[in-house]
Amino acid sequence: MPDKPKVAFYWCASCGGCEEAVVDLAEDILKVVEAVDIVLWPVAMDFKKADVEARPDKSIAVAFINGAIRTSEQEEWVRMLRRKAGLVVSFGACANSGGIPALANQFKKEQILKYVYEDCPGVDNPAKTRPQTETTDEGRTVTLPEFRSMVRSLDEVIEVDYYLPGCPPTPKLIMAAVGAILAGKLPPQGTVLSPDNALCEECKRKDSKPADLALTEFKRPHQIQIDPEKCMLAQGLVCMGPATRSGCEARCVEGNMPCTGCFGPSSRVKDQGAKFVSSVFSNIAPKEAPEIDKVLDGIPDPIGTFYRYGLSKCILRRKLN
């Protein structure tokens, strides 16, 4: 019997939700396990770095890597997996475009360390001790990975073959990707494995989205009773649907919550946040500055709203000062 293809799962700066999504394949996980040999999956199995390092280059058929890249250790791991794997799939919003961890790119490394180890309420650290990459105590030396100056997406560090979007990707998309890889029926390198349309096109509420929204205020989901039939934007809620790739089956909107943009942009959109701002802000009813500002006050965190999952890949990328 021929060897089964070898598959690796790895996580970098991640919440663990993408790993959970693999577990959430339910009975389908058994089909995956039957079809492949899992040679690395830190969340579930005890493989060591040395086990992977000892494998011949390209001996792993595919590595699914989730999470963004923040530390030297994450960078070392993904460079090694790139050598060992024939295909690398960037798995989920954090790997694809920095995700939630990349929101830290609004701050300098020193600001983050100072807040976390000194200023954060609840921190008791009078000596202002910070983690060091190397510490020697009683003749023994321990090391920690280096905390890099910014968060990067996976493809800013290594070459990526395919992208699975989402926070996390849906079981349907994961199974379709695994099926295509096992069958050798792969699209061109660099493809995002999800339909290339705006979410609004697959949303059941699209017929209630007026051509001119005539927005007089923005509201946050907890401030109103959301109409379950009507377009979110028509209710004054920020819904990233017009600037976001489809393929999630509009799960958030189906759950009566606006889209927050985790699938990233479609191929025709260069910058997801800029696309949203340009398409929706032209629908603000007031035309004079003070009134426009009053409407925009309804969005207290513009970067966290328009670039929640994509700060490391957008035009802005990071805040310098």
Residue in 150, 154, 232, 248 binding ligand SF4, rule: CB under 6 A: 232
Of residues 32 and 226, the one with the C-beta less far from ligand SF4: 226
Q: Tokens 């209630």 belong to which residue?
A: 208
**How far is the first Cα of the chain from the last one, in angstroms, to the nearest whole number?**
60
Site residue total, ligand SF4 (CB under 6 A) = 27
Chosen residue from 52, 177, 259, 314 binding ligand SF4 by CB under 6 A: 259
CA distance 92 to 111: 27
**Minimum distance, C-beta of residue 89 to ligand SF4, in the bound complex (Å):** 13
Report the alpha-carbon distance of residue 128 to residue 136 in Å, rounded: 18
Rule CB under 6 A: is residue 238 a binding residue for ligand SF4?
no
Compute the distance between CA of residue 260 and CA of residue 276 in angstroms, rounded to an integer: 11
H helices within the chain, ranges in order?
17-23, 28-35, 49-53, 72-84, 93-97, 109-114, 171-183, 251-254, 272-280, 289-296, 302-306
Q: What are phi and psi of 65, to 5 degrees?
A: -120, 120
* Contacts with ligand SF4, 29-68, as mask; x by CB under 6 A: -------------------------------------xx-
Shortest Cβ distance from residue 21 to ligand SF4 (Å)?
A: 7
Q: Under 8 Å CB-to-CB from 186, ≥6 apart: which residues?
A: 162, 180
| HEC assignment per residue over 183-236 | HCCCCCCCCECCCCCEHHHHCCCHHHCCCCCCECCCECHHHCCCCCCCCCHHHC
β-bridge partners, 198: 245
Is residue 17 within the footprint of ligand SF4 (CB under 6 A)?
yes
Of residues 176 and 226, the one with the C-beta less far from ligand SF4: 226
What is the contact mask toward ligand SF4 in residues 73 to 112, using x (rule: CB under 6 A)?
Answer: -------------------xxx----xx------------
- Cβ 65 to ligand SF4 shortest distance, Å: 11
Would you call 48 helix, strand, or coil by DSSP? coil
Q: Is 253 a binder of ligand SF4 (CB under 6 A)?
A: yes
Cβ proximity to ligand SF4, 15 vs 35, nearer residue: 15
Q: Could you tell me the smallest distance in angstroms from the CB atom of residue 281 to ligand SF4? A: 14
3-state secondary structure of 313: coil
Q: Identify any residues that bridge with 37 across adjacent strands, giving them in sequence order.
A: 6
Q: How far apart are CA 246 and CA 281, in angstroms?
A: 22
Minimal distance, residue 124 CB to ligand SF4, in Å: 29
Q: Is 219 in the site for ligand SF4 (CB under 6 A)?
A: no
Site string for ligand SF4, 153-192 (x = CB under 6 A): --------------xx------------------------
205 binds ligand SF4 (CB under 6 A): yes
Q: Least distance in Å: CB of 262 to ligand SF4?
A: 7
Residue 209 within binding range of ligand SF4, rule CB under 6 A: yes
Report DSSP state, residue 167: S
Should residue 233 be labelled a site residue for ligand SF4 when binding is judged by CB under 6 A? yes
Which residues contribute to the site for ligand SF4 (CB under 6 A)?
Answer: 14-15, 17-18, 66-67, 92-94, 99-100, 167-168, 199-200, 203, 205-206, 209, 231-233, 239, 241-242, 253, 259
